[in-house]
Amino acid sequence: MLADELGLRLVRFLWCGNDGTIRAKASGRHGLMGRLQGGIGLTVAMQAMNGLDQLQTVDGMGPVGEVRIVPDLETFRALPYAPRAGAVLTDHMGLDGNPAPVCQRSCLKRMADRLAERDLVLRAAFENEFSLARAVDGSYEPVDSALCFSTIGMTTSQDYVDELVSSLAEQGIAVEQYYAEQGHGQQEISAPHAPAVQAADEQLLVRETIRGVAARQGLTASLAPKPWPDIAGNGCHIHFSLWEDERNRFFDASGEGGLSAEARSFLAGVLHHLPGLCALTAPSFNSYHRLVPQAWAGAFRCWGYDNREAPLRVASVLRGAEEHSTNAELKAADASCNPYLALAGVIAAGLDGVDQGRELPAPIAADPATMSEGERASRGIVRLPTTQNEALDALSEDDALRDALGSVLTEAYLAVRRSEWTVYSRGDAAFELQGHFAKY
């Protein structure tokens, strides 16, 4: 088998929990064939575990009972940054062989199926920003203090980035662009767009590779949304568009701004549901120290063409590739999200926009933070949630998003994330940093 040809000793069965943590159990070579088919047993409790490994009380997710983490063999990879190790992405399946109601990857598949009924595919790309740091005397220091897009920053991290890009290439994951971002030690890599489930699978592999390569080089890479209070935060902007085979249904050359009517309703849905969606796309306690005005993260609910203070930005097209490059960017997103849930939420919100015939308000061509409160009010611009708790309140009141997740997943998700709010809101900044820096 392929694992033998590649000399693998362990294959990691990966999943991402409600806390956004990527976890795994690995199979040895002995019994691997059986586990690739039947999965590995896992306690039902894991989906009620928060980002501090504190088990929350959720019905049916206690000490009794098992699911199987069953791999999608299409996702198999050898891991260049881990000796003789491979990985597969998994679904959480009940013992009856059906997807467990709490399975996030299955949730995204359900939403992709809803689109498929309309001959649509959501294609998405994640743009990961992250901080490269060294551990010094028990704290983390950025590897440089280089300026935005500075080639000095590029030079400082060139050996790391070379190994990162080659490790991704070996896993069949292309890199569109790389640069040293504004924050100290901050890097950004973007992936090409892919159908939603594949994009989310690869987002897990990219996060693993970013950290795995850093660890090999004696560094720490953090995808935490706000690794240091006074330095630019790490976004994970999500670019998306709707496709029918090779046709981009977001694109209409004669439509306003080059957008189809369908795209406008879909985006209106995303905008409408944005407060609750934030609980899925910017879901951590630490996320709300990034999602603030004038940080280019999109703190006020609005949309605009190439407006980097709008959480929903319609990106300008590339000349000669107008159809191919038509897409929207959700900036109110970071890599502490479970990418399956983030994309499931985007689809649910967008489809609700289409089904309700929602209309986009006027685009905003200014930084909303520079407007008076009255001006913002007259344009319907409101602040997005300012805390994890506010976002979770919005999610718990959002029927379209709750329906997309289903009741079991909704309850588990809210319990896990609310418990993190309870713990971190009582702690200090050092506790928050410790709880996010090395965990995302």
Give residues in contact with Mg ion (CB under 5 A): 188
Chain residue whose CB lies nearest Mg ion: 188
432 binds, among Mg ion, ligand GLU, none (CB under 5 to 8 A by kind): none
Q: Does 221 bind ligand GLU (CB under 6 A)?
A: no
Stretch that binds ligand GLU, among 193-201, 202-210, 288-296, 406-414 (CB under 6 A): 288-296
25 binds, among ligand GLU, Mg ion, none (CB under 5 to 8 A by kind): none
Locate 6 and state its tokens.
Answer: 């590649």
d(CA 289, CA 391): 13
Locate 37 and state its tokens.
Answer: 């088919």
297 binds, among ligand GLU, Mg ion, none (CB under 5 to 8 A by kind): ligand GLU
d(CA 142, CA 290): 17
Chain centre distance of CA 142: 23
Locate 16 and state its tokens.
Answer: 């991402």
| E strands, 94-235, in order | 121-136, 139-142, 177-180, 186-190, 194-195, 220-222
Q: Does 278 bind ligand GLU (CB under 6 A)?
A: no
For Cα atoms 53, 198, 95, give the angle at the middle one, nearest 5 degrees. 55
Stretch that binds ligand GLU, among 192-200, 229-237, 387-395, 415-423 (CB under 6 A): 229-237
Q: How far is the CB of 216 from ligand GLU (least distance, A)?
A: 26
Q: How far is the CB of 436 from ligand GLU (least distance, A)?
A: 14
The answer to whether 153 and 180 have CB atoms below 8 angstroms apart is yes
Instruction: Draw the binding track, 86-125, toward ligand GLU (x: CB under 6 A; -: no contact).
Output: ----------------------------------------
In sequence order, the β-bridge partners of residue 328 are 240, 314
Chain residue whose CB lies nearest ligand GLU: 235
Q: Does 153 bind ligand GLU (CB under 6 A)?
A: no
What residues between 374 and 403 interact with ligand GLU by CB under 6 A? none
Q: Given the complex with ligand GLU, which of 290 and 376 has the nearer CB atom?
A: 290
d(CA 69, CA 103): 10
The answer to whether 262 and 154 have CB atoms below 8 angstroms apart is no
Q: Does 283 bind ligand GLU (CB under 6 A)?
A: no
Stretch that binds ligand GLU, among 239-247, 269-277, 293-301, 315-323 (CB under 6 A): 293-301
Locate 329 and state its tokens.
Answer: 């960017």
The answer to whether 289 and 385 have CB atoms below 8 angstroms apart is no
Count residues near ligand GLU (CB under 6 A). Answer: 10
Q: Given the complex with Mg ion, which of 111 and 189 has the nearer CB atom?
A: 189
Q: How far is the CB of 308 from ligand GLU (least distance, A)?
A: 5
Q: How far is the CB of 188 from ligand GLU (least distance, A)?
A: 7
Q: Does 352 bind ligand GLU (CB under 6 A)?
A: no
> Half-sphere exposure of residue 435, counting CA atoms within 13 Å on the CB side?
23
Give the type of residue at 187.
Q
* Residues near 53 by beta carbon (within 8 Å), at least 6 away in sequence: none
Q: How far is the CB of 181 from Mg ion (least distance, A)?
A: 5
Q: Given the complex with ligand GLU, which of 112 and 333 has the nearer CB atom?
A: 333
Q: Does 142 bind ligand GLU (CB under 6 A)?
A: no
Of 294, 304, 318, 321, which Cα lies nearest the Cα of 383?
Answer: 294
Burial of 238 (0-12, 13-18, 19+ CB in 10 A): buried
Of 248, 292, 239, 293, which Cα lies nearest the Cα of 270?
Answer: 239
Regarding beta strands 236-244 and 121-136, do their DSSP bridges make them parallel or antiparallel, or are they unpaired?
antiparallel
Q: How far is the CB of 306 from ligand GLU (least distance, A)?
A: 11
Q: Report the residue from 9, 110, 216, 308 that binds ligand GLU according to the rule CB under 6 A.
A: 308
Q: Given the complex with ligand GLU, which of 107 and 232 has the nearer CB atom?
A: 232
Cβ count near 395 (within 10 Å)? 25
Q: Given the complex with ligand GLU, which of 77 and 184 has the nearer CB atom?
A: 184
Q: Report the residue from 25, 109, 331, 358 that binds ligand GLU according to the rule CB under 6 A.
A: 331
Q: Does 232 bind ligand GLU (CB under 6 A)?
A: yes
- Residue-by-residue DSSP string for 300-357: EE-EEES-TTSSEEEPPPPTT-HHHH--EEE-S--TTS-HHHHHHHHHHHHHHHHHTT
331 binds, among ligand GLU, Mg ion, none (CB under 5 to 8 A by kind): ligand GLU
Give the interface with ligand GLU as residue ranges (CB under 6 A). 129, 232-233, 235, 290, 295-297, 308, 331
